[in-house]
Structure 1
Amino acid sequence: MTELRILPAGDRALLIELPDHLAPAGFGQHLHDHPVEGVGDLLPAARTVLVTLAPGATAATVEDGLRAAADAVATESSETPSASDTVMIPVRYDGDDLAETAELLGMTETELIARHTGCVWRCAFVGFAPGFGYLEAPDAGLAVPRRDRSRTAIPAGAVALAGGYSAVYPRKSPGGWRIIGRTETTLWDLDRPEPALLRPGTRVRFVRTDLDGRRR
């Protein structure tokens, strides 16, 4: 059985600390797809998942379901995701920080792009702005610090790296991430049944494209 640390968070919530081999994003996605009785809402973060209890539920009745869910996620984590389960995001790698970021990582721009496109990223959690997903892929080896000085305006669709994560800016906003490319994919659209393209647990593959939109 997967070991969880479940802590009370006030009278109506639980804070779940997962073991290192389980990602909060995957756990949160599993709870979204396979609801546990007594769970009202959930909020994955970088290292934890906050679970709010539904009216009438008690922590004792929910904990067994959470532990069973963790076991199921551990099994899912060992399976290879199919292409149909993955959001494909075409990217033009012409960002203002591409050359500097590659130099910081001690690699060429071509190698940086190959690493960014060569792995499956997973949305760990959503924050900062609606639709802004923090994507993680530890094996990519693309962890870089934020810029020393933030930009006052980053355009929607900017593809960026910072703090061990990659992200796509869903709308124009200030920010200090390192911009390596851009996409025309819409990350947040209120006209869609599900406005956010990315949610915790979503798998993402970046695909390099030319200026005319052809894949490379």
Structure 2
Amino acid sequence: MVRRAAVVEPHVLQRNGAVRLLRERGGLQVVHGTDSLAGLLEWMRGRDERHWPHLLVAELLPIAPAGGDLRALAALRRAGMRVLLLSSLDSRHDVRAVREAGVDGLVSKTDSEDVLIASVMRVLDGEQVVTAAAEAAARDDSRIPGLSPQESRLLALYADGWSISAAAEELGVRPDTARKYLSRIKQKYAAVGVEARTKVDLIRTAWRDGLADPEA
């Protein structure tokens, strides 16, 4: 049986490279390549199910704030498609969201072509695959400082748009204490080489480390 695949990748050169690799090294029939899940769904609507891909190889990060990609991903999986996330894995929060929504494979863009093709074959055979590089990237704690529970909670609230006064009240501490927490958070991130001097820096860091939800 000819096994069919589709590629979703926003960057043209990377998309073309993945298509070539799946065809030449994987022996797959790549039926469609596009820059978004919406583009794939639009293509599928005009074709008989017998021509739909068995496998989707996709870069799905960052997740769109409205959550449309996660709903589309769930719909594709209900239709029986297997999904392999091929990603730079920059945001742990988004990685967790995609894994919870359901993917069959997780491959880092730092993995070799051999690893990617082997992972594709295993996913098509019904296995769940997470490469060592992908697992390391998804859980990489080398740039996460040891925040206390109160500091983590404050950072999450702050990244979600709470003022220092409102966050302090939520935590049951004085605003001056909350400001001290914030100062320590910045110092701890600086100690592991992470830029966290501004509010924007802190918000991006909280999103990256899975402490806050970008949709919030």
TM score, norm. by length of structure 1: 0.26
Bigger RCO of structures 1 and 2 (CA < 8 A, at least 6 apart): 1
TM score, norm. by length of structure 2: 0.26
Query: Which has the larger Rg?
Result: 2
More helix by share: 2
